[in-house]
Amino acid sequence: MTRALFIVDVQNDFTEGGALAVQGGAAVARAVSRYLDAHHADYELVFASRDWHHGHTDNGGHFAADGEPDYVDTWPVHCVAGTPGADYHPDLDLDEIDFHIHKGQGVPAYSIYEGTTEDGESVRDLIERHGVEQIDLVGLATDYCVRASAIDAHEHGKRVRVLTDLVAGVAAESSERALRELEARGVELAHS
């Protein structure tokens, strides 16, 4: 069975010291690199996504334009294309990544399926063209972009597995709720 690995949003703004830091984000970057080094041969394709927002707009309401962000639908400015915050965390090894996916280009976007390569190819088209049937997910944040990406992959008919020791979330309670929801939908939870 052809497998792909999705590395979701392991970026500076989502790790310690970033605009929307996730506790344990840097540790996830290191752990994903170790995992990829040991298991690259297990995957036909490796995708890595990044939020890639516009800096001069509110990105379709994604950035809180007036007042405080609600941290549900509106967020502080983060992962602006071309800034250090949008860069991959330096501990994430990029050598084995086949496709770099940009998402949230002017609009709210959480799932890797909402992004494209720099050439404009969709994740769905790439997955289908290469005959991928199983997808493993790792990255940030469990309760937002990992959750949304896992749901989309499952809804596109793929066998989906979240490697729970290679993710970190915004909050423990919402991350646990997201994992239980994924499991109830038929997504497998596994340890790397």
* Sheet architecture: strand order including 99-103: 99-103, 45-51, 3-8, 134-140, 159-168, 188-190
User: Quick one: average pLDDT of 152-175?
Assistant: 97
Domain extents in the chain: 3-51+89-103+111-190
Do the beta carbons of residue 74 and residue 63 sit within 8 Å?
A: yes
Catalytic residue annotation: 9, 103, 145
Q: What is the per-residue pLDDT for 66?
A: 78
Percent of the chain whose predicted confidence (pLDDT) is above 70 = 100
Asked if residue 67 has pLDDT above 80, the reply is no
Classify domain 3-51+89-103+111-190 at the CATH topology level.
Rossmann fold (3.40.50)
Tokens found for residue 148: 């949304």
pLDDT confidence band for 65 (50 / 70 / 90): confident
User: Quick one: average pLDDT of 76-86?
Assistant: 96
* Radius of gyration in angstroms for the set of CA atoms belonging to the chain, rounded to a whole number: 15
Please tell me the pTM assigned to this model. 0.96
Which among 108, 156, 155 has a CA at the least distance from the CA of 128?
Answer: 156
Give CA–CA dist 134/34, Å, rounded.
Answer: 21
